[in-house]
Amino acid sequence: MQHTVNNPNPEVLENLRSELRRGSLIVAVLAELRAEQYGYTLRKSLEEHGIAIDEGTLYPLLRRLETQGLLVSEWREQDRRNKRFYQLSPEGAEVLERLLDDWEALSASLQSILQRPASSVPATESKMAPNAANKESK
């Protein structure tokens, strides 16, 4: 099967995007919940920042983060409706701080790699086994 730079395998690309997004969503949700919000306002706030998330993803994520002790929640009546409000727990605040440190270090490393001139990137094909180089070109 031939793959070109201009025509990546859509299934592979989508899987990789999902993996990248999954970790990013956790950081975004934790960061947004430094201030108390209920699910709908959290979803809208994330969307306003360019992070669309459907309810079928958000609510299971909120429950999992709460089970892990990273969030606390409370049912309250607002506008004559019961709503569940979420906020970062003290443990969640510590985890977020550490994740952000990791994010910044990883981002700096990626920027360093991506800003390297193409001429300084080692040629990988010459280091591949002859058989592997032939498979890549097919």
Q: Does 98 have pLDDT greater than 80?
A: yes
Cα–Cα distance for residue pair 6/114, rounded to 1 Å: 19
What's the mean pLDDT when you consider all of the chain? 86
Residue type, 27: V
DSSP letter at 117 equals -
Cα–Cα distance for residue pair 19/90, rounded to 1 Å: 27
Q: 98 phi and psi, to 5 degrees?
A: -70, -40
Q: Does 2 have pLDDT greater than 60?
A: no
Q: What is the pTM of this model?
A: 0.76
Domains contained in the chain, CATH given: 11-116 (1.10.10.10)
Segment 9-60, tens digit of pLDDT = 889 989 988 888 888 999 999 999 999 999 999 999 999 999 999 999 999 9
DSSP letter at 123 equals P
Q: Name the helix (H) or strand (E) containing 72.
A: strand 71-78
Cα–Cα distance for residue pair 21/14, rounded to 1 Å: 10
